[in-house]
Chain A
Amino acid sequence: MSGHGNGRPTDVVLAADAGYPARLRTAGSGSAVLGPEAPFVVMSRKRLSIVAMFFSLAFIVISARLVDLTWNDMESGPSAGRENAARGVVDRASIVDRNGEILATSLRSASLYANPARVMDTDEAARRLARVLPDLSRDALAKKLSSDKSFVWLKRNLTPRQQWKINELGLPGLAFQQEHRRVYPHGPLAAHALGFVDIDNNGIAGIERYFDDELRAPAGDGEPLVMSLDTRAQHVLRSELGKGMRAFSAKGAAGIVLDVHTGEVIALSSLPDFNPNNTGASDQNSRFNRVTLGVYELGSVMKTFTTAMALDAGVVKLSGGYDATHPIKFDRHIIRDDHAKKRWLSVPEIFMYSSNIGSAKMAIDVGEKRQRRFLDRIGLTRKPALELPEVGSPLVPDPWRDINTLTVAYGHGIAISPLQMTSAAAAMINGGRMIPATLLKRDPSRLPEGDQVVSADTSAIMRRLLRRVVEDGTGRQANARGYVVGGKTGTAEKPGANGYRDDALISSFVADFPSDDPKYVVLVMYDEPKGNAMTQGFASAGWTAAPVARRIIERIAPILGVQPVLDEQEASDTMLIMTNG
């Protein structure tokens, strides 16, 4: 232990002698060794180290910047090509149906323009161009090519073949501009819902117009706009509606299929329609949206609301009724029944036989104030909200006279759009909730709550009443076997110059299925249908709109996944088919 104790201090001293402290000692008492320059040496060493530090700092900064540049270059903003690749090639976002089927999309196409100053032989160029583009006249081309402008469109949106042929002509002064062209693969299928765009791809009508800004600036990733429509159901609606329109030589037709719980429009068709790919060929009449923009006095289908209102207000019970023996005389008006029973009618009978007298009496009992508030709540008094620019405002009596309370009860004196009718009818049968209609697919977990306009009990009664109309009333021809259809007919005379015209009808049918647990409501409306041999000359709703509604339901129910319910007879038929098959 003592040996170590002695050794250590010596080491320390040695280290001190050899190292830094030695220099300090030199500096402190160095005048004898280095002479008078010594302070400068110390100072210059200090300066040198400062400079060295400065330089090394500078180099560190430069290296850092170098690394930074190299790094950044790799992550710098993607080139245009990359950006497009990431986004997909979209100019204007596509529109798809609820199953992702393309309804509208933009495709790249070339457009031909000319710089007339550079065209050498105008006549020759016009002659050769006209041969490749037969829809352009030679004279018009020559005129365009000899104009004094420096840019003139010759033809927009060429087909690839046309572009290739024009290239082959090798004419100077002609050039192509890459453009996007809006294409509607299904043609006229959902024309009124989709609308169309102009040559510069600005939305002009329909949902193309309503969501013009959103479609134009796709949210970065080119996500398509998802509509509530089902292409297959839309096709069924359009084709069956069209067949009926031809059979009844009607002026026009409107049809809509609505999901009663979500408010989604599954199909919407207005006839005559147009091809949005070629809007130039269409006229005003075919562009007119009869479902959302047109307003009509729909007649007896309105009794659905009158009956629901009276039952819900408690002014009459289902077992109650009214005397319909005599027409009602009110001021100068007389209200009659079309198929007068001339006796006391119960509420279900009033509904089934579509008694104007009974309905008017119900409305009198409810009273004007409550009636108008009810119409308000089921959205019949103001413009409905739908994602289309073409939405019509209803025509409600103004000022409201006492007689209006009676006529509105059976659907006269108030003109509403088929869309309003369908939305309100959905509320009567879905448990009483008024859910705004939409053309966009709704997230099933985030459905609008909906205003409770009638009680769930009243709604259940209405479903039974509607079913009775199809079982035994005016809507028998709508009975699609297996799908438990309920519905109400409406035949209204169109107002003319001198009162109502008995030769011009609006025949409509509103149907729900399946009645025990309704999923969809279908509305079919014909404008001025004519009777034919098949309808025994009748043009009323029970003979025109109702059978069309049946055919639509028979075809769309399997598509929409509604399981048929068969009664015993039908079930035994099934067994027969299965054992034979």
Chain B
Amino acid sequence: MISTPAIAALALTAAVSYGLYELKYEVQGLEQRYDDLSRELMNEQDSVHVLKAEWSYLSRPYRVQKLADRFLSLQPTKPAQITHFQDLPLRKLSEDKISGNSKPTDPLLRSVAQEQQP
């Protein structure tokens, strides 16, 4: 007569084999998917690579300059057109603001302020 541990062992073996079998097939399926994705990725990378090369070709300074000369009226930047941020003149504050009177001096703001008055 077969003892309880033996039955348990058999059942365990059966369960483990089945589990392993399932796992193996799942792994195979995943591998297949992985390969497909890798290939797809490779193709996409290839396309990105081609597009990058094409972008480099289309944005080459020689071409951009030719197009700019033809369609834009831009000129090379003169030194006088470049300034430091700290050299920008500050906007002049109105005396009203300094003295605390809140009447806006800007014509647009003034009209807005007038509209808001009852």
Chain A residues within CB distance 8 Å of chain B: 66, 70, 73-74, 78-79, 81-82, 84-85, 88-89, 101-102, 105, 107-108, 183, 185-187, 189, 231-232, 234-236, 239, 480-483, 554-555, 557-558, 563-564, 566, 570, 573-575, 577-578
Q: Which chain A residues border B81 with CB–CB below 8 Å?
A: 574, 577
Q: How far is the CB of B3 from chain A (nearest CB, A)?
A: 14
Give 11 pairs: A residue, B residue, CB < 8 Å, sorted on A. Answer: A78-B38, A81-B35, A89-B49, A105-B49, A107-B49, A107-B50, A186-B56, A231-B60, A480-B79, A482-B78, A574-B81
Whether the Cβ atoms of B38 and A81 lie closer than 8 Å is: yes
With both beta carbons as reference points, the residue of chain B lying nearest to A232 in the complex is identified as B61
Tell me the count of chain B residues lying within 8 A, CB to CB, of chain A.
34
Determine if A189 and B60 form an interchain contact, defined as CB atoms under 8 angstroms apart. Answer: yes
Is the Cβ of A85 less than 8 Å from the Cβ of B45? yes
Interface residues of B (CB under 8 A from A): 20, 23-24, 27, 31, 34-35, 38-39, 41-42, 45-46, 49-50, 52-54, 56-57, 60-62, 65, 76-84, 89
Of all chain A residues, the one with the shortest Cβ separation from B34 is A82
Known pairs A186-B62, A563-B82 / 8 extra A-B pairs, C-beta < 8 Å? A105-B49, A186-B57, A187-B62, A558-B82, A566-B79, A566-B80, A570-B79, A570-B80
- For A102, give its contact among B23, B53, B83, B89 (CB under 8 Å): B53
Do the beta carbons of B38 and A239 come within 8 Å of each other? Answer: no
Contacting residue for A81 out of B39, B77, B79, CB 8 A? B39
B44 to chain A, nearest CB (A): 9
Residue from A105, A564, A573, A577 whose CB has the most chain B CB atoms within 10 Å: A564
Q: Which residues of B contact A81 (CB under 8 A)?
A: 35, 38-39, 42
Tell whether, in the assembled complex, residue B80 and residue A574 are in contact, meaning their CB atoms are under 8 Å apart: yes
A235 near B61 (CB under 8 angstroms)?
yes
Contact B24 A70 (CB under 8 A): yes
A189–B61 CA distance with the chains assembled, in angstroms: 9
| Nearest CB of chain B from residue A184's CB, rounded to whole Å | 9
Q: Which residue of B lies closest to A88 (CB)?
A: B45
User: Are A187 and B60 neighbours in the complex by a CB distance under 8 Å?
Assistant: yes
Residues in B with CB closer than 8 Å to A88 are: 45, 49
Nearest residue, chain A, Cβ from B64 = A235
CB-defined contacts of A85 to chain B, threshold 8 Å: 38-39, 41-42, 45
Q: Which of B20, B52, B60, B76 contacts A555 (CB 8 A)?
A: B76
Which B residues are CB-close (under 8 A) to A189? Answer: 60-62
- Nearest B residue to A576 by beta-carbon distance? B80
Among B34, B79, B83, find the residue whose CB has the most chain A CB atoms closer than 10 A: B79
A235 and B79 form a contact (CB under 8 A): no
B82 touches A564 (CB 8 A): yes
Min Cβ gap A160→B in Å is 10
- Contact indicator A74/B53 (Cβ below 8 Å): no
Complex Cα distance, B89 from A577, in Å, reads: 13
Residues of B within 8 A of A185 (CB): 53-54, 56-57, 60
Contacts of B84 in A (CB 8 A): 563
**How far is B76's CA from A483's CA once the two chains are assembled, in angstroms?**
15
A186 CA / B79 CA spacing, docked (Å): 28
Residue in A82, A554, A557 whose CB lies within 8 Å of B38? A82
